[in-house]
Amino acid sequence: MALLDLPLKRKLAKQDQPEDALTGTPVSRFSRHLILCLVGLVMLYPLMWLISSSMKPSNDIFRQLGLWPENWDFSNYAQGWTALDQPFHVYLINSMIVVIFSIVGNIFSCALAAYAFARMEFTGRKLFFALMLGTLMLPGHVLLVPQYIIFSQLGWLDTYLPLIVPNFMATNAFFIFLMVQFMKSLPKELDDAAQIDGCGPFRTFVRVILPLCVPAMATTAIFTFISTWNEFFGPLLYIQNQDLYTVPLALRAFMDSEGQSMWGPMFAMSVVSIAPIIGFFIAGQKYLINGIATTGLK
């Protein structure tokens, strides 16, 4: 599929260009800004309402629907923190564990595979590459039942292994593809220079290519963080023990047990659970946006 074809580096450069000359009349620009601001407000309103509700006393939340709390109540956070079996930081830590291992696994295995596809020669490379791309479009649910059975036979149910181990097996074609594109844009001269120095493929990989792939790895890390932090289905399926709950499961348990009246604490914990995502987003927007733009354009 020959889509508009530009190597990633040139694209990155383009994104950092100063914006195109302002077009249109001031009036049209103003009206565009107006529309965009309105849309932006509507988009963000739910989030703002969530945050503001988390600081209102529970009874006020649906009584006083405005954004600015009439009565401030920060105890929601303290209450929500201890409302479940374990203090909330246990669940935050659980999620962190799963996320960190997933990130490490992804970067490790996808970088290795990407290097093989991008730089190495071996029989079947084209075939395997096509196969890998194919798995990008494979709906994962079809593998669900047998994978569950495998994990159950291995005795891995109720542990984090089913969530973490697949990441070490380069099962995310998206990231492999991202890295392949990135590596392809690195000049071959680097490889040659390394080889002349006597580096085997592995040394070349570790010493030369990998350090240059930091943007791609950062993108992988951020995307992995966000999708793993939010992940609900996997943990729902594999984790029974409440102590091992990740944040999404803990939130849902909250809703099940107290969701009909303790809105304040529940919203407070919701804010806590999406805060890391918002944080990573603000810090790593560049990588995120370039990342998906790349795959789209490929």
Q: Does 140 bind other proteins (CB under 8 A)?
A: yes
Sign of the C-alpha dihedral, residues 213, 219, 223, 229? positive
**Which listed range, 70-78, 138-146, 179-187, 213-221, lies at the site for other proteins (CB under 8 A)?**
138-146
Q: Identify which of 277, 264, 272 has the alpha carbon closest to the alpha carbon of residue 230.
A: 277
Instruction: Decide: helix, strand or coil at residue 117.
Output: helix
Instruction: Say how many residues touch other proteins, by CB under 8 A.
Output: 130
Only one of the segments 72-80, 179-187, 213-221, 266-274 lies at the binding site for other proteins (rule: CB under 8 A); that segment is 266-274
From candidates 12, 96, 133, 165, binder to other proteins by CB under 8 A: 165
Stretch that binds other proteins, among 39-47, 68-76, 180-188, 211-219 (CB under 8 A): 39-47
Q: From CA 192, how far away is CA 102, in angstroms rounded?
A: 33
Q: Do residues 98 and 163 lie in contact, with contact meaning Cβ atoms separated by under 8 Å?
A: yes
Looking at residue 55, its amino acid is M
By CB under 8 A, tell whether 255 contacts other proteins: yes
20 binds other proteins (CB under 8 A): yes
- Say whether residue 12 binds other proteins (CB under 8 A): no
Site for other proteins in 55-84 (CB under 8 A): 62-63, 65
Task: Count Cα atoms within 13 angstroms, Cβ side, for 183.
Answer: 26
Instruction: Locate 213 and state its tokens.
Output: 């792939």
Query: What is the Rg, in whole angstroms, of the alpha carbon atoms belonging to the chain?
Result: 24
Residue numbers 182-241 binding other proteins by CB under 8 A: 195, 197-203, 205-206, 226, 230, 232-233, 236-237, 240-241
